[in-house]
Amino acid sequence: MNQIQGGVCAAQGFQAAGLHVGVKTHNVNKKDLTLIVSDVPCTAAGVFTTNVVKAAPIQVTRRHLAAGPVRAVVANSGNANACAPEGEENAVRMCRAAAAALGVQPQEVLVSSTGVIGQTLKVGVIEAGLPTLSGMLEHSWAGSDAAAAAIMTTDTVPKEAAVEFTVGGKTVCMGGIAKGSGMIRPNMGTMLCFITTDCAISQELLQSALREVCAVSFNRISVDGDTSTNDTCLVLANGLAGNAPITQRGGDYDAFAAALKEICVTLARKIASDGEGARHLITCTVSGAADEKTAETVAKSVVSSTLTKAAIFGADANWGRVLCAMGYSGAAFDPEAVDVSFASDAGRVAVCSRGRGLPFDEELAKKVLSEHDVEIRISMGSGAGQCVCWGCDITYEYIRINGDYRT
């Protein structure tokens, strides 16, 4: 498998574009409408937020996924269309307008929204903008860049990834774009992620692969512990790579799932790294747990702990907070068997052995934790279970952003 350029346009037969149409009113330079289109009908799959309060576009997208092949995804930023008047009607109108501009059926269009909750979506500006946007569609990486930019809210960088790999002797491409930033926690963690591939694969296996991979990528990141009402991850597969369709588990499916995992983990790490106000990407690696579930419970609790996040912000090797977060995670384990160390490109410092503090070089610890990418390594001393989760620190900037998000 090779990393390549091109994001959501890396795979054959996919075009994308992004444009400012006026959902975001405060800055006309900020794109707010994304369109991703396949030249031919696609098999598609999706996973969605576990929040009881689900945004209207999720309901509509689910219906359209169930209706059969898909041609396009339309998505806006600046308004979540959740708990909003005329939510479902406006989500349907977005699909209709995109379908009309593209000459396809409305149920062949999937729809997503991200932004403020509870305000009526200005669907008129979206309808007015879609003909222009569809005229801007490009097969090149520039199309993906624009699409990635147009789903950003408080994200500071667009997030793209793409790989090529081989299925049945054919070169297959897969790429994706994502946005994250706030309302991110390990339970379908990204607000929006769109993935395209030219691989031929059955809908059933596409859905399985997406579900399995989301569980070990997006569901293992945390920014603030708030699970959004809009979280959506969609994958469209148009089969243009010409491989014999993947219709059963085996080597081809595994290659496909590995590529999907590569894309999703890359995008998940980018989301955690670009968490609102974040200065550090925190990777928590747990090994020696009784089983993988225990390792995951513990690792998620550590990357979600506000106190641990604040300590990393301060480059403070306060490992007691790591043990504390493990302890209230709900996992059963023996604290007296736990080892903890901090690591980064600047080195590694062991701080806790068998549940007790070790003397350590405070200066080195400060250096290790001052790097952008820091790792919390935990060994639980009781089995072979392991897991990696990602998060970010909490900063003054997070408070500033979220103290005044709507206005």
Binding-site ranges for a copy of itself (CB under 8 A): 50-54, 80, 82-85, 116-120, 182-183, 185, 187, 224-229, 304-307, 310-311, 313-314, 316-321, 323-329, 331-333, 335, 351-352, 355-357, 394-396, 398-407
Say how many residues make up the chain: 407
Whether the CA torsion 395, 221, 62, 110 is positive or negative: it is positive
Minimum gap (Å) between residue 139 Cβ and a copy of itself: 37
196 and 263 Cβ atoms separated by less than 8 Å: no
Q: How far apart are CA 329 and CA 321, in angstroms?
A: 12
* Closer to a copy of itself by Cβ: residue 250 or 403: 403
- Name the residue nearer to a copy of itself (CB basis): 59 or 171: 59
| Residues in CB range of 288: below 8 A, 6 or more apart | 337, 379, 380, 381, 382, 383, 384, 385, 386
Q: Is 217 exposed, middle or buried (0-12, 13-18, 19+ CB in 10 A)?
A: buried
Give the span between the Cα atoms of 134 and 67, in whole angstroms. Answer: 23
Cα of 224 vs its chain's centroid, Å:
14
Beta-bridged to residue 42, according to DSSP, are: 70
Residues linked to residue 140 through DSSP beta bridges, in sequence order: none
- Identify the residue whose tokens are 């790989």: 163
* Nearer Cβ to a copy of itself (36/116): 116
Q: Which two tokens stand for residue 326?
A: 């493990």
Shortest Å distance, C-beta 303 to a copy of itself? 13
Distance CA 334, CA 234 (A): 40
Q: Which is nearer to a copy of itself, 20 or 279 (CB)?
A: 279
Q: 300, 220 in Cβ contact below 8 A? A: yes
Looking at the Cβ atoms of 142 and 290, the one nearer to a copy of itself is 290
* Catalytic residue, candidates 43, 190, 227, 229: 190
Active site residue 190: yes
| Shortest Cβ 143–a copy of itself spacing (Å) | 31
Rounded to a whole number of angstroms, the minimum distance from the CB of residue 180 to a copy of itself is 14
Q: Between residues 249 and 400, which has the closer beta carbon with respect to a copy of itself?
A: 400
CB of 400 to a copy of itself, least distance (A): 8
Q: Distances in Å between the alpha carbon of 168 and those of 63, 240, 243, 245, 261? A: 32, 14, 6, 9, 19
* Smallest separation, CB 326 to a copy of itself (Å): 7
Tell me, rounded to whole angstroms, the distance of Cα 192 from its chain centroid.
6
Looking up tokens 């959740």, which residue turns up?
A: 82
Q: Looking at the annotation, which residues are catalytic?
A: 190
